[in-house]
């Protein structure tokens, strides 16, 4: 898989944004997606999050990456 010029590699995202929160993309999360994404941006989340799809669960997950543990904990609590 290629990446855009100037985009961080997965290794660099893990280095600069080591605190990561994974949320399941279910109907409840999608209903509040704009609010969740807005809060993540306000807390300094990386614009380059990860997305996972697990076939055995037929579920999608989004990962929000933060540089500080405190901001990740605030986001997780919300």
Quick check: 53 pLDDT over 70?
Answer: yes
Residue 48 and residue 9 in contact, taking contact as beta carbons nearer than 8 Å = no
User: Residue 2: what pLDDT?
Assistant: 60
pTM comes to: 0.75
Residue 68's pLDDT band (cuts 50, 70, 90):
very high
Quick check: 72 pLDDT over 70?
Answer: yes
Quick check: 3 pLDDT over 90?
Answer: no
Helices (H) and strands (E) in the chain, counts: 4, 3
Q: State percent of the chain over pLDDT 90.
A: 14
């Amino acid at each position: 898989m290629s990446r855009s010029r100037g985009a961080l590699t997965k290794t660099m995202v893990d280095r600069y944004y080591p605190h990561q929160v994974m949320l399941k993309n279910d109907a409840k999360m999608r209903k509040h997606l704009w609010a969740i994404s807005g809060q993540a941006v306000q807390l300094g989340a990386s614009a380059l999050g990860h997305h996972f799809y697990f076939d055995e669960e037929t579920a999608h997950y989004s990962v929000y990456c933060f540089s500080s543990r405190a901001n990740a904990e605030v986001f997780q609590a919300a």
